[in-house]
Structure 1
Amino acid sequence: MIDLRLLREDPARARASQRARGQDVALVDSVLSADERRRSSSTRFDELRAEQKQLGRLIPGARGAEKAGLLERARELAEAVKAAGTEQHEAAEQARELLLRIDNLVHPDAPIGGEEDFVVLERHGAPRDFAAEGFAPRDHLELGGLLGAVDTDRGAKVSGSRSYYLTGVGALLGLALVNAAVAQAVTAGFTPMLTPNLVKPAAMAGTGYLGQVEDDVYHLDKDDLYLVGTSEVPLAAYHMDEIIDAGRLPLRYAGFSTCYRREAGSYGKDTRGIFRVHQFDKVEMFVCTTPEEADSEHQRLLAWQKQWLDSLGLPFQVVESASGDLGASAARKFDCEAWIPAQGRYRELTSTSNTTQFQARRLNIRLRDAGGTRPPALLNGTLCAVTRTIAAILENHQLADGSVRLPEVLRPYLAGRELLEPAAAPVGARAAAE
């Protein structure tokens, strides 16, 4: 959540941020009103308690009618103190509940607008001209079938829509991507982490995933646990309720986990293939640093993402998301979008967000330096979302006969293999039935 003191001192900035996000501007004034009620009730409580203590010193020395009057006043004060304490607690709870509903303040450099108002910052590589090469590109699902790598028919049979199996070279390619991505992260100084896939409500709420995207989250009612949609959640919660010495920063973690998303609101989108699925593996970069270093660290995360996509030989563009397309926790976000030949457009493969002190404040994470304690800045960035990256590799590196040339960075993890070649028989339930 945002800093309540900042809200009091500069409410106009918070209102502007809410407006830029397309969120309720009046919520800012509701928080300020609840906070004023909390502060006034706190003052009233302190005044009554002071009078109560003073009265307690007078009663032992009083006699007769004077003592009776003091005792009567003591009873009145006891009731008033109790009522003031209740009001103080209720006002504080209301202020906190309202404050939790305000999204992070939009970074001053983020473009203003909605989903379509992103800004293209740079492009790397050029899409292949398949027409000049004399053949039409196949999409990743057709290629995956030819290679014996992807089986969505049996995935749907077993688990329903947006499900799949990675088989044979598809499974090996997925594992190679994970190992290569982790190797790059370790070289860059990240500590590898295998994270929990199940988290408590405090972790999910603390990272801001129980607000605008709650419908996209899987919840296990019997256990009151959530399946994570990204290892960002357990990585952010790793230091929940802890104080970190500033000398240890930055802390950089590379988390690997399976991710689960209901894909609510995506009806009819990307129903073919493995681009948008309910379950996928991902390597995620996560950083805890000082607020002063947050912007620079954000650029470093983006640089590592570009390095990764360059190593895979994928044409891609870097875009900055507009204010109305930011997640609740993100103050600023960059996406790397790879060219997908069969779709003839760029699609998101990686994303990196600066959540400033927003998540740390919600998770009660603090850093300690010479000035005392304060919330650190937390940042996250996808390094490799396996299924989307497989789709991009198959389509961009395909050959006319359905073979796929492997990027050099992956070959050591595939026993030196340079080429994926069509299998003797395609995979899929329909193919098996034929």
Structure 2
Amino acid sequence: MHTLHRALPRLARCTRQASTSSDIAGASLAAPQLDYASLARDAESHARNAALRNVDLPLDTASRLTNLYARFRDLTSRANAKRHEQRELGELVKKAKDAEQRQSAIRAATELKPEVQRLTTEVSELEDKLRALALLLPNTTHPSSPHGAEKNARTVSVHGSERLPVDQARDHVAVGNALELFDLLAGSTVSGSAWYFLKNEAAQLELALINYALSIAVKHGYTPTTTPDVVRSDIARRAGFRPRDAGTPIEASQIYSVETPRGSPELVLAGTAEIPLAGMHARQTYEPGALPRKLAGLGRAFRAEAGAGGADTRGLYRVHQFAKLELFVVCGAEESEQMLEEIRAVQVEIFEGLGFPFRVLDMPTEELGAAAYRKYDIEAWMPGRGKWGEISSASNCTDYQARRLLIRHAPAALGGRTSFAHTLNGTAAAVPRLIVALLENGARFDVDGKVVGINLPKELQPFWVNNPKRDLVRWV
């Protein structure tokens, strides 16, 4: 397992009250606040939903959930009744008219105390079991999401130029090697397989793509944000992030751990800026009018999954580390579905500017992961690979992350009462995949079929750092 020996400091931000220095040091979050009543009431439906999403649950999950909640509700009621009795005895002690009445109330309260403590402990232990079972359930699913595997994805729209025919000469590995754009061998020597060095125009392209995508995000009201690449494992789990290889449900090996001193919180490398951006809002309660909050977060994504075999692991398509600009939104429940469409529109604007053919897919249930209520994927045509390749996704996670990270807001309609916010995320630029698409669609050849340069969209030119020693790029 790869390890790091130093962790980045994490900062906390609050809305209703300022954080103390001890808060910033990182007190652990309280337990997730799940809607046990709703989960138990529709336990069979939630179990069927998990099956549709290919989430492996124990066969008796629905019945156990129902029974545990019934016991929890009954025990909580009994504990509350005893606490009420305890409070009444306390009042009687205060208001006793004589010493005998006071002593009688004190004796009764003393006898009651162990029972209250016992019931409180039993309620806590039972809730731990109930919570552990409920946390196995994925988010609910949008009624319009297709059912089944990836092949059942529904095409929402197709964009960009006409597709080039399949052509192995356009393979991004061949093009990149010929033009000295990256060094995969050195990456393997230094770090292992699926690591790489970007050079020359490819390195410039990474910076240009990030700044181009960021400029469009900012135009649409997203706040530029840089994120820690190291996060607490608890934050990653609460965000529902479980990167996994195609066909491999094992998640333990998919996240890089960070070596920490004994007794310190477990740290991991973030698989996406979505994780620290979600954690940034943990324990917050937003006042009326404070939402939506829209962030464009830049970070490095770390994926241990890249080590699996197969054609998709060649070159830059599936790698262990990459630069990524992520859109993240916190909003009210009533606006999250429309916000997902807004994120998709921003993504379409970004990719239309890059010129290559791409399509938007409404993803089926088995592709939603744990957190997403609905997810769109965007795939670019990659003629060198001979197929479509995912370059982006956008997800509405409803209150799945918010309940686990304790992100609340106080809608005006609730008159000061709080409810859990909704969170959404979408990829604005996953750099290596975009480089693959641009190289395979933009490679330029001479009359003998030798690759001599690349055509890049003129929308990137304002963000380009010219290198007078090389003249490979033509702006189109």
TM range (shorter): 0.7 to 0.9
CA distances 1:178-225 after superposition (whole Å, capped 9, x unpaired): 111111111111100011111123321220126964431111142521
Amino acid at match of 1:248: A
8 Å CA contact 1:137–1:398 kept in 2: the answer is no
Deviations 1:241-295 (A, max 9, x none): 0111231221110000111010167333423211100000001111111111111
Structure 1 residues 294 and 26, CA gap change in structure 2 (3 angstroms)? farther
In structure 1, the residue matched to 2:428 is 383
Name the counterpart of 2:269: 227
For residue 145 of structure 1, the aligned residue among 177, 184, 194 is: 177
Q: Which residue of 1 aligns with 2:3?
A: none
Q: CA deviation at 1:53?
A: 5.0
Q: Which shifted more, 257-266 or 171-180? A: 257-266
User: Deviation of residue 11 (structure 1)?
Assistant: 3.6
Q: Which residue of 1 aligns with 2:17?
A: none
Match of 1:196 in 2: 228
Return closer, same or farther for 1:47/1:61 CA change in 2, 3 Å cut-off. farther
In the TM superposition, 1:263-342 aligns within 5 A as 263=305, 266-342=308-384
Q: Which amino acid aligns with 1:262?
A: A
- 1:413 paired with 2:451, answer no
Please give the alpha-carbon distance, in whole angstroms, between the structure 2 residues aligned to 1:91 and 1:393: 55
* Rounded Cα–Cα distance in structure 2 between residues aligned with 1:281 and 1:399: 26
- Secondary structure, aligned partner of 1:108: coil
Percent identical pairs in the alignment equals 35
Query: Does the 8 A contact of 1:340 with 1:392 survive in 2?
Result: yes
Which deviates the most, 8-17 or 346-355? Answer: 8-17
Distance 1:69 1:289 in 2: 51
With over 3 angstroms needed to count, the CA separation of the structure-2 counterparts of 1:5 and 1:45, relative to structure 1, is closer
Are the equivalent residues in 1 in contact too, given 2:156–2:360 (CA < 8 A)? Answer: yes
Residue 217 of structure 1 corresponds to: 255
What are the within-5 Å matches in structure 2 for residues 383-402 of structure 1? 383-401=428-446, 402=451
1:429 matched to which residue of 2?
none
Q: Provide Cα deviations, 1:44-63, integer angstroms capped at 9, x if missing partner.
A: 22233344455664899686
Q: What residue in structure 1 maps to residue 190 of structure 2?
A: 158
Which amino acid in structure 2 is aligned with residue 393 of structure 1? L
Question: Bigger shift: 55-64 or 163-172?
Answer: 55-64
Cα deviation 1:340-362 (Å, max 9, x = unaligned): 10121111000000001110111
CA contact (8 A) 1:250 1:287 kept: yes
**1:30 aligned partner:** 64
CA 1:279–1:84 in 2, change beyond 3 Å: closer, same or farther? same
- Give the Cα–Cα distance (whole angstroms) in 2 for the partners of residues 60 and 221 of structure 1: 64
Q: Give distance in 1, aligned partners of 2:307 and 2:177.
A: 28
**What is aligned with 2:78?**
44
Residue range with higher mean Cα deviation, 114-123 or 389-398:
114-123
CA distance in 1, matches of 2:382, 2:201: 21
1:360 and 2:410 are equivalent in the alignment: no
Equivalent residues of 1:103, 1:329 under 8 A apart = yes
State the distance in 1 between where 2:160 and 2:358 align.
7
For 2:218, the equivalent position in structure 1 comes to 186
Given that 1:127 and 1:341 are in contact with CA atoms closer than 8 Å, whether structure 2 keeps it comes out as: no
Could you say if the C-alpha distance between residues 210 and 149 of structure 1 is closer, same or farther in structure 2, counting changes exceeding 3 Å? closer
Distance 1:111 1:75, change over 3 A: same
Q: CA deviation at 1:307?
A: 1.1
**One-letter identity of the residue aligned with 1:182:** L
Alignment TM-score, normalising by the size of structure 2: 0.81
Q: Is the 8 A contact 1:335 1:348 kept in 2?
A: yes
Structure 1 length-normalised TM? 0.88
Query: How many residues are treated as equivalent by the alignment?
Result: 417
Q: 1:264 to 1:422 in 2, by over 3 A?
A: closer
Name the aligned partner's letter for residue 455 of structure 2: R
Match of 1:89 in 2: 124
CA contact (8 A) 1:147 1:421 kept: no
